[in-house]
Structure 1
Amino acid sequence: MFSTVFASVLLVLSSVLTPVNTQSIDINSVAEATREYWCSSQKAACPLICLQLPGATGSPAENSCDADTLSYSCVCSNNVSPNASEYSQTMPYFICTETNTECVNKCTTSACAAACRSDHPCGAQDPKRVNVTTTTSAAATTSTATSTAVQTDEATGAATRYALEMGHIYGTFILISGFLAGFAILL
């Protein structure tokens, strides 16, 4: 019994800790600079993805990528390896978009080209909203409070965006006024 459980745990751990390599493209067909950019983006996305997992911090236990093989590993501080294919700007996303581009390049009709992308979408298809409570057994007041908090966050975000846009407008106005005042003094 103990050996069966131990073997199962080892199997799960090895699958989680093994670097991911899900390529379906010819690596040599992608420019080295492009592959390096993909790796850079993958490594930048890993801490952000980890922040969305319960019990994980933005400091992954492992975050690596090899531009020569397109192999990568993202293991969060809670020892969970997130499904990077659910996110954009990750290695699975870039490989998917490259596969679709190669498919489009082989097409002779617009219907074929459209099917390449619509039949094989890349990145998040149904992203999880991590800032919304999804507990179904909560009381109506809790649901109302959560809804109000989300609406307040959205209103605060809109007000912040508006204030930033107005700040840019006023800043530009002050800058132009300063130049005009400077020219007026010179004349």
Structure 2
Amino acid sequence: MRNSVVFAALSALGLAQATIANYTIDTASISLTTRSTWCQAQDNTCSTLCDGNPKTETCDPTTLIYSCLCQNGTAPGLEYYTQTLPTFVCNEAFSECITANANNATGQKACTTDIKDNCGTLDPSKYSPAAVSSSSAPASTAAAATSAATASAAGTATPTASSSSNAAPAMNHIGNGAVAVAVGLFAYLL
């Protein structure tokens, strides 16, 4: 599942790490209170993106393992939104990268382009459900997908969920998110 989290206890080093959306963070450096807050925000956003009725909505603050599925079995694009575990982990990975590259302008610039620029930026409070269309004409579907992708790139649309359980990992660039939204919307409408 593309929004699942891998938790590994590195017993030899005594460290705990979580990997989400291709970013690994040191969970031992993050208080349980903060991780609990992250999970609460994650659950709230999951509920919002599943139109208030998620099928599965779990988040473990100890391990940062989470699941978010809507009633139709799809997983919303959590990595595109603020107030989600993928974005919290992305921002933490950025912070850790900046700290690791203190006094290194080139390294810090890489932190920004490789990590920060990929963190979710859409506001879940501005989410509105996609209108359901009864049209099956391919041209209408393609136009709707293009329109949604264009609006998403401007930060006004909401990505729809993908129904594929073999979906690719999170896109590396939010700029590419518009393409993912268009593909997801097209797949959803089919």
Partners of 1:61 and 1:137 lie apart in 2 by 32
Q: Which residue of 2 aligns with 1:79?
A: 73
- 1:19-38 correspondence runs (5 A): 20-22=4-6, 23=19, 24-38=24-38
1:95 is aligned, of 84, 89, 92, to: 89
Q: Which structure carries more helix by proportion?
A: 1
Partners of 1:39 and 1:110 lie apart in 2 by 33
Query: Percent of pairs identical after alignment?
Result: 31
Partners of 1:65 and 1:32 lie apart in 2 by 13
How many residue pairs match? The answer is 117
2:59 is aligned, of 65, 78, 103, to: 65
Partners of 1:27 and 1:119 lie apart in 2 by 20
Amino acid corresponding to residue 113 of structure 2 in structure 1 = S
Alpha-carbon distance, 1:87 to partner: 1.7
Amino acid corresponding to residue 107 of structure 2 in structure 1 = C
- Structure 2 length as normaliser, TM-score? 0.52
Amino acid corresponding to residue 84 of structure 1 in structure 2 = L
1:110 is aligned, of 87, 105, 110, to: 105
Moved more, 80-89 or 67-76: 80-89
Deviations along 1:125-167, one digit per CA (max 9) or x if unpaired, are 8xx9947x9x8735xxxx9xx9xxx9xxxxxxxxxxxxxxxxx
Work out which structure has the larger RCO, using CA pairs closer than 8 Å and 6 or more positions apart in sequence: 2
- Structure 1 length as normaliser, TM-score? 0.53
Segments of 4+ in structure 1 off by > 4 A? 128-131
Q: Which residue of 1 aligns with 2:165?
A: none
Q: Which residue of 1 aligns with 2:119?
A: 122
Q: Which structure carries more strand by proportion?
A: 2
**RMSD of aligned alpha carbons:** 3.4
Partners of 1:83 and 1:37 lie apart in 2 by 20
